[in-house]
Each structure stands twice: as structure tokens, then as C-alpha cells.
């Protein structure tokens, strides 16, 4: 009878040891799962911050493009105004040279 009790006790010890090992492994897995969820949440927050920075950068790019377009339009307008002013001054200079040339020719003719 004692031999049977001894064998039964050994099986009970093995069962308890296996249960402890399973419990320990389960706790480790739960810990790893918590850590994994924390990392996932941290990555989600980082992704959200990156997404927000991207949105802000895109809005800034749109504003800069708009401002650049306005500056280009202003530069074209100023270039046209300058070109018209240069053409006007060239016409004035040409008329002045013609007047000088005519005046010089008539003074040469009257001195001869």
C-alpha cells in the first residue's frame, strides 16, 4: 500500500511542478504581451506626431508656393514696367539725338 502512495505522491509533485512551470511561462507571456502593447502604443503616438508634422509641412509648402506665385507675378509686372520705361527713354534719346543732328547740320549749313 505504501508503494502506491509513494508513486501517487511523485505524480502529484510532477503535476505541481508542471503547473508551476506553466504558470511561470504564462506570466512571462503576459508580460511580453503588455510590453508589446506598450511598444505598439508608443509607435502609434510617434506615427501620429509624424503625421501631424507632415500635415504642417504640407500646409507650409502650400503657403510658400502661393507666396512664390505672387512674387513671380509681381516680378513679371515690374519687369514689364521697367521694359516699358527703358523703351520710352530710348525713344526720348533717339528724338534728342535726331534734334541734335538736325540742329548741328543746320548750324554747319548756316556757317558755310
Higher pLDDT residue, 96 or 2? 96
The answer to whether residue 55 sits within a structural domain is yes
Instruction: Say whether pLDDT at 4 is over 70.
Output: no
Average pLDDT of the chain to the nearest whole number: 89
Give the pLDDT score at 54: 98
What range defines the domain where residue 105 resides?
42-112
46/43 Cα distance (integer angstroms): 5
Give the pLDDT score at 1: 43
Give the pLDDT score at 69: 97
The answer to whether residue 111 sits within a structural domain is yes
Q: pLDDT for 81-95, tens place per residue?
A: 999 999 999 999 999
The answer to whether residue 4 sits within a structural domain is no
CA–CA distances in Å: residue 31 to residues 25, 26, 98, 103, 111: 10, 9, 98, 105, 116
46/38 Cα distance (integer angstroms): 12
Q: pLDDT for 28-77, tens place per residue?
A: 999 999 999 999 999 999 999 999 999 999 999 999 999 999 999 999 99
The answer to whether residue 95 sits within a structural domain is yes
> What's the whole-model pTM score?
0.53
The answer to whether residue 83 sits within a structural domain is yes
Instruction: Say whether pLDDT at 110 is over 70.
Output: no
The answer to whether residue 82 sits within a structural domain is yes
The answer to whether residue 85 sits within a structural domain is yes
The answer to whether residue 22 sits within a structural domain is no
Number of domains into which the chain is organized: 1
C-alpha torsion 34→38→39→45, nearest 10: 160
Amino acid at each position: 500500500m505504501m508503494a502506491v502512495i509513494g508513486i501517487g505522491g511523485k505524480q502529484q509533485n510532477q503535476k505541481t511542478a508542471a503547473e508551476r512551470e506553466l504558470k511561470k511561462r504564462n506570466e512571462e507571456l503576459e508580460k511580453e504581451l503588455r510590453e508589446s502593447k506598450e511598444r505598439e502604443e508608443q509607435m502609434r503616438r510617434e506615427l501620429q506626431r509624424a503625421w501631424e508634422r507632415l500635415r504642417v509641412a504640407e500646409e507650409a509648402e502650400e503657403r510658400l508656393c502661393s507666396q512664390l506665385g505672387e512674387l513671380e507675378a509681381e516680378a513679371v509686372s515690374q519687369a514689364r514696367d521697367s521694359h516699358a520705361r527703358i523703351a520710352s527713354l530710348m525713344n526720348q534719346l533717339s528724338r534728342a539725338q535726331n534734334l541734335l543732328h538736325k540742329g548741328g547740320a543746320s548750324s554747319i549749313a548756316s556757317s558755310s
